[in-house]
């Protein structure tokens, strides 16, 4: 192959699929036209992700598994990759997998990393922020002495570093003991009080709860099984709504293995005029929710001592579908860990029932964490993170859109951070038209979800002319300001806005934010707030979900 041909071949692997419109001209159009164009584009080509990006994520998963195998070599009862088949289901291997996964996530290497979360250069946040004094944080109690405040200080950095060191100490131990797990069980929530971003980034609803089980449960395998069952059950429960069919559409339109126009057309009622979910998409959504219920049910109904063959098959089918679609946010390593847990806990120990936990205090703790909090989070989603509620990828999340007038977004450069405005991150790699086209897809992603149909109603309430403003999804603002983002809309609401305003000083009208909450279980509305960074609240109200279902993603009317 000639040198020029090689260069062109490499460029084709890293160049995103261009949208079917002129991105520069698109910027000058009214909101309704812009919205329709990006939605039609998303339906057929998704984010336009370059093929090489998917390969990068696959390599990252391999490195994640290799890291676990590396730390397992410190245990004499385990071994290397050449003997993996003889030890991969050993209890110590599972314990190290949990600690390694928690460390991997809190370093910023797992969920929320890379281009599929709007993080381009650097491709990770995490430790680049959490180890740096002066970066923005979100304390659980802002006025708390020492651990409060809006920016990270030496104590915050020390706490984060202590979590890292304690996790590595457990990983290099031949046999991690209670002392290792107790230290992690205490330090991680303490760091979370100082910055709740850390607690969420560590995927604490899974890994921290399991680590507490390691530390205090007489029969930790039973407790770890309870955690796994809860993850699947509540993931299915959270999809008992009208939001999930739009998630199926969005994923199918973006998946690397579903790049067939005929298939993507089948996801919608009548492309391009009607981009509401088709009957097929709705049926797939019901099937996915049923499968997420079916997996834990199959494990629970398998008689004690009998290998859970059916449950394992259902589990593999469920997580193969999720990972093959490479969903935005890319929780791939987490899905790998859940599958591994299915084998290491249920397949390797079919004789251990969940009821054999052996500690009333631990049983009470698990009831609170695995039943009480998820139920509370479904009933009152504005009060609890969707992660702690285990409402995974249901399409019913809090979100925000930040609108910067003119070049007011340049004031964000006053923040202490490691990443720049997203357009500036992309500028060294692509021309302006390509950058605008790539970022425009994020508007399409948000609008194509059911809750995103609120935006054609709310944007005109927030600003007179969108053409005068830079649209930025709150996810990317959180990534820039906090160093982590993974669909948790509460991280980029009023608390973050107040912190950014204190550091950047926007004038009235320079920054308007639209905050939309999740739909509570048993209620039929989505609540919203429109806030000016300098002037404060502009409007708040609620929108009927049934009315949103009747609208197209770009339309303010039925």
* Cα within 13 Å of Cα(241), Cβ side: 34
Measured over the CA atoms of residue 139, residue 136, residue 204 and residue 179, the dihedral's sign is negative
Contact 150, 503 (CB under 8 A): yes
3-class SS of residue 136: strand
**CA atoms of 278 and 294, how far apart (whole Å):** 24
- Spatial neighbors of 373 by CB under 8 A, at least 6 apart, are 205, 384, 388, 389
Q: What is the pLDDT of residue 265?
A: 97
**CA atoms of 481 and 498, how far apart (whole Å):** 12
Whether a cis peptide bond, with omega within 30° of 0, leads into 86 is: no
3-class SS of residue 247: helix
**CA atoms of 201 and 194, how far apart (whole Å):** 13
**CA atoms of 236 and 295, how far apart (whole Å):** 10
pLDDT in 10s for each residue of the chain, 558 residues = 444 334 333 445 578 888 999 999 999 999 999 999 999 999 999 998 888 888 899 999 999 999 999 999 999 989 888 889 999 999 999 999 999 999 999 999 999 898 888 888 899 999 999 999 999 999 999 999 999 999 999 999 999 999 999 999 999 999 999 999 999 999 999 999 999 999 999 999 999 999 999 999 999 999 999 999 999 999 999 999 999 999 999 999 998 999 999 999 999 999 999 999 999 999 999 999 999 999 999 999 999 999 999 999 999 999 999 998 888 888 999 999 999 999 999 999 999 999 999 999 999 999 999 999 999 999 999 999 999 999 998 899 999 999 999 999 999 999 998 899 999 999 988 999 999 999 999 999 999 999 999 999 999 999 999 999 999 999 999 999 999 999 999 999 999 999 999 999 999 999 999 999 999 999 999 999 999 999 999 999 999 999 999 999 999 887
Measured over the CA atoms of residue 432, residue 437, residue 442 and residue 447, the dihedral's sign is positive
Q: What is the pLDDT of residue 6?
A: 40
First and final C-alpha spacing in the chain: 55
Contact 207, 98 (CB under 8 A): yes
Take residue 12 and report the two structure tokens written for it: 């084709």
Whether a cis peptide bond, with omega within 30° of 0, leads into 488 is: no
Q: What is the pLDDT of residue 13?
A: 57
**CA atoms of 168 and 162, how far apart (whole Å):** 10
**CA atoms of 267 and 512, how far apart (whole Å):** 34
């Amino acid at each position: 192959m000639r040198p020029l041909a090689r260069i062109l071949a490499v460029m084709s692997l890293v160049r995103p699929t261009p949208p079917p419109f002129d991105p520069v001209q698109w910027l000058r159009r009214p909101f309704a036209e812009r919205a329709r164009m990006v939605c039609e584009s998303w339906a057929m080509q998704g984010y336009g992700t370059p093929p090489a990006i998917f390969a990068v994520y696959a390599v990252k998963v391999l490195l994640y598994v290799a890291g676990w195998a590396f730390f397992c070599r410190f245990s004499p009862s385990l071994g290397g990759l050449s003997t993996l088949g003889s030890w991969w289901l050993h209890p110590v291997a599972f314990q190290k997998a949990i600690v390694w996964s928690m460390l991997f996530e809190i370093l910023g290497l797992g969920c929320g990393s890379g281009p599929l979360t709007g993080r381009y250069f650097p491709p990770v946040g995490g430790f680049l922020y959490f180890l740096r004094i002066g970066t923005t944080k979100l304390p659980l109690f802002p006025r708390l002495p020492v651990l409060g405040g809006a920016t990270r200080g030496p104590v915050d950095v020390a706490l984060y570093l202590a979590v890292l060191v304690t996790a590595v100490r457990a990983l290099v131990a031949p046999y991690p003991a209670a002392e290792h797990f107790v230290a992690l069980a205490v330090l991680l929530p303490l760091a979370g009080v100082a910055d709740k971003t850390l607690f969420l980034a560590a995927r604490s609803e899974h890994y921290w709860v399991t680590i507490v089980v390691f530390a205090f449960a007489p029969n930790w395998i039973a407790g770890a099984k309870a955690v796994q069952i809860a993850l699947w059950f509540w993931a299915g429960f959270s999809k008992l709504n009208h939001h999930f069919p739009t998630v199926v559409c969005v994923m199918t339109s973006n998946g690397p293995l579903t790049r067939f126009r005929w298939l993507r057309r089948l996801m919608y009622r009548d492309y391009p005029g009607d981009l509401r979910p088709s009957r097929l998409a709705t049926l797939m959504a019901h099937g996915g929710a049923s499968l997420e219920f079916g997996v834990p049910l199959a494990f629970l109904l398998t008689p004690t001592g009998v290998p859970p063959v059916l449950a394992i098959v259902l589990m593999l089918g469920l997580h193969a579908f999720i990972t093959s679609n490479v969903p935005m946010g890319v929780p791939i390593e987490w899905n790998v860990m859940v599958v591994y847990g299915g084998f290491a806990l249920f397949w390797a120990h079919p004789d251990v029932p969940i009821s054999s936990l052996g500690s009333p205090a631990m049983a009470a703790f698990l009831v609170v964490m695995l039943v009480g909090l998820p139920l509370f989070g479904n009933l009152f989603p504005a009060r609890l993170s969707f992660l702690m509620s285990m409402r995974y990828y249901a399409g019913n999340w809090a979100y925000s859109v930040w609108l910067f007038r003119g070049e007011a977004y340049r004031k964000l450069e006053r923040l202490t951070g490691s990443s720049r405005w997203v357009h500036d991150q992309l500028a060294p790699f692509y021309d302006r038209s390509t950058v605008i086209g790539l970022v425009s897809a994020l508007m399409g992603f948000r609008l194509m979800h059911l809750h995103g149909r609120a935006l054609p109603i709310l944007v005109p309430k927030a600003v007179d002319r969108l053409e005068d403003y830079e649209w930025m999804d709150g996810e990317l603002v959180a990534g820039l300001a906090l160093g982590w983002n993974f669909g948790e809309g509460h991280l980029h609401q009023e608390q973050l806005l107040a912190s950014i305003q204190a550091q950047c000083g926007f004038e009235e009208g320079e920054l308007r934010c639209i905050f939309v909450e999740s739909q509570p279980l048993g209620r039929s509305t989505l609540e919203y707030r429109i806030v000016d960074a300098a002037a404060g609240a502009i409007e708040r109200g609620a929108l009927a979900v049934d009315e949103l279902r009747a609208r197209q993603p770009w339309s303010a009317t039925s």
